[in-house]
Amino acid sequence: MTRTGSSPGVLSIKPFRRLWIALSLSSFGDWLSILALTALAGSLTKGSAENYAIGGVLVVKLLPALVFGPLAGAVADRFDRRTTMVIADILRFSLFLSIPLVGRLDWLYIATFLIEVVTLFWIPAKEATVPNLVPKDQLEKANQISLISTYGSAPVAAATFSVLALISGVVFANQRQQANLALYINAVTFLVSAATIFSLREIPRQRGKVSVPSILKQIVAGWRFVGSTPLVRGLTVGIVGAFAAGGAVIGIAKVYVKALGGGDAAYGVVFGMVFVGMAIGMFLAPRILKDFSRRRLFGLAIIGAGLALVLIAIIQNLVIVALLTALLGAGAGIAWVIGYTLIGLEVEDSLRGRTWAFLQSLVRVALLLTVAAVPFIAGAVGQHRLKYGKNGVYHFDGPNAVLLLGAVVAVIVGLLAYKQMDDRKGIPLSRDLMAALRGEEYTPEQPGSGERGVFLAFEGGEGAGKTTQARLLAIWLRDQGFDVVTTREPGSSKMGMRLRAILLDKETTGLSSRAETLLYAADRAQHVAEVIRPALQRGAIVVTDRYVDSSLAYQGGGRELKVKEIAEVNRWATGGLTPDLTIILDVPSEVGLGRFASPADRIESEPREFHERVRRGFRALAEAEPHRYLVIDGTQPQQEISRQIHDRVRAILPDPVPATAEAVTSTMPVISD
Ligand X SMILES: Nc1ncnc2c1ncn2[C@@H]1O[C@H](COP(=O)(O)OP(=O)(O)OP(=O)(O)O)[C@@H](O)[C@H]1O
Note the residues at the interface with ligand X (CB under 6 A). Answer: 460, 462-468, 595, 634, 637-638, 641
Report the greatest alpha carbon distance in the chain.
103
Nearer to ligand LXEULUCI, 401 or 553 (CB): 553
Nearer to ligand LXEULUCI, 75 or 522 (CB): 522
Is 339 annotated in some ligand binding site?
no
Is 466 annotated in some ligand binding site?
yes
Residue 550 interacting entry, from ligand LXEULUCI, ligand X, none, C-beta within 5 to 8 Å by type? ligand LXEULUCI
Residue 336 interacting entry, from ligand LXEULUCI, ligand X, none, C-beta within 5 to 8 Å by type? none
Task: Name which of 437, 405, 446, 401 is nearest 300 in CA terms.
Answer: 437
Residue nearest to ligand X (CB): 465
Residue nearest to ligand LXEULUCI (CB): 554
- Work out how close the CB of 508 gets to ligand LXEULUCI at its nearest, in angstroms, rounded to a whole number: 12
Nearer to ligand X, 435 or 473 (CB): 473
Is 29 annotated in some ligand binding site?
no
- Work out how close the CB of 237 gets to ligand X at its nearest, in angstroms, rounded to a whole number: 57
Q: What is the DSSP string of 597-630?
A: -SPP-TTTTS-HHHHHHHHHHHHHHHHHSGGGEE
Is 36 annotated in some ligand binding site?
no
Residue 468 interacting entry, from ligand LXEULUCI, ligand X, none, C-beta within 5 to 8 Å by type? ligand X
Task: Name which of 239, 301, 249 is nearest 271 in CA terms.
Answer: 249
Strands, DSSP E only, in 399-538?
Answer: 454-460, 484-488
- Work out how close the CB of 470 gets to ligand X at its nearest, in angstroms, rounded to a whole number: 8
Task: Name which of 239, 367, 358, 374 is nearest 305 in CA terms.
Answer: 239
CA–CA distance, 345 with 337 (Å, rounded to integer): 12
The tally of CA atoms less than 13 A away on the side-chain side of residue 642 is 14
Residue 595 interacting entry, from ligand LXEULUCI, ligand X, none, C-beta within 5 to 8 Å by type? ligand X
- Work out how close the CB of 461 gets to ligand X at its nearest, in angstroms, rounded to a whole number: 7
Residue 419 interacting entry, from ligand X, ligand LXEULUCI, none, C-beta within 5 to 8 Å by type? none
Residue 551 interacting entry, from ligand X, ligand LXEULUCI, none, C-beta within 5 to 8 Å by type? ligand LXEULUCI
Helix (H, G, I), strand (E, B) or coil at 213: coil
Nearer to ligand LXEULUCI, 505 or 633 (CB): 505
Nearer to ligand LXEULUCI, 557 or 669 (CB): 557
Task: Name which of 620, 488, 504 is nearest 563 in CA terms.
Answer: 620
Residue 93 interacting entry, from ligand X, ligand LXEULUCI, none, C-beta within 5 to 8 Å by type? none
Residue 418 near residue 296, CB atoms below 8 Å: yes
CA–CA distance, 410 with 77 (Å, rounded to integer): 37
Nearer to ligand X, 308 or 641 (CB): 641
Residue 490 interacting entry, from ligand LXEULUCI, ligand X, none, C-beta within 5 to 8 Å by type? ligand LXEULUCI
Q: Summarize as ranges the residues that interact with ligand LXEULUCI (CB under 6 A).
A: 462, 488-490, 504, 520, 546, 550-551, 554-555, 603-604
Is 326 annotated in some ligand binding site?
no
- Work out how close the CB of 486 gets to ligand X at its nearest, in angstroms, rounded to a whole number: 12
Phi first, then psi: give them for residue 78, nearest 5 degrees: -95, -35
CA–CA distance, 319 with 22 (Å, rounded to integer): 35
Is 460 annotated in some ligand binding site?
yes
Beta bridge partners of 393: 387
Nearer to ligand LXEULUCI, 380 or 511 (CB): 511
Residue 339 interacting entry, from ligand LXEULUCI, ligand X, none, C-beta within 5 to 8 Å by type? none
Task: Name which of 174, 448, 87, 434 is nearest 291 in CA terms.
Answer: 434
CA–CA distance, 495 with 526 (Å, rounded to integer): 8
Nearer to ligand X, 69 or 634 (CB): 634
Distance of CA 586 to the CA centre of its chain: 44
Q: What is the DSSP string of 111-167?
A: HHHHHHHHHHHHHHHHHHHHHHHS-GGGHHHHHHHHHHHHHHHHHHHHHHHHHHHHH
* Dihedral angle of Cα 324, 326, 327, 332, to the nearest 10 degrees: 130
Nearer to ligand X, 58 or 645 (CB): 645
Residue type, 490: P
- Work out how close the CB of 639 gets to ligand X at its nearest, in angstroms, rounded to a whole number: 9
Is 465 annotated in some ligand binding site?
yes
CA–CA distance, 584 with 614 (Å, rounded to integer): 12
- Work out how close the CB of 551 gets to ligand LXEULUCI at its nearest, in angstroms, rounded to a whole number: 4
- Work out how close the CB of 454 gets to ligand LXEULUCI at its nearest, in angstroms, rounded to a whole number: 20
- Work out how close the CB of 640 gets to ligand LXEULUCI at its nearest, in angstroms, rounded to a whole number: 22
Residue 460 interacting entry, from ligand LXEULUCI, ligand X, none, C-beta within 5 to 8 Å by type? ligand X
Residue 632 near residue 584, CB atoms below 8 Å: yes
Nearer to ligand X, 289 or 632 (CB): 632
CA–CA distance, 76 with 125 (Å, rounded to integer): 5
- Work out how close the CB of 602 gets to ligand LXEULUCI at its nearest, in angstroms, rounded to a whole number: 8
Residue 89 interacting entry, from ligand LXEULUCI, ligand X, none, C-beta within 5 to 8 Å by type? none
CA distances from 133 to 13, 16, 21, 90 (A): 8, 6, 14, 23
Is 304 annotated in some ligand binding site?
no
Nearer to ligand LXEULUCI, 399 or 556 (CB): 556
Residue type, 236: T
Give the residue numbers of the binding site for ATP: 460-467
Give the residue numbers of the binding site: 460-467
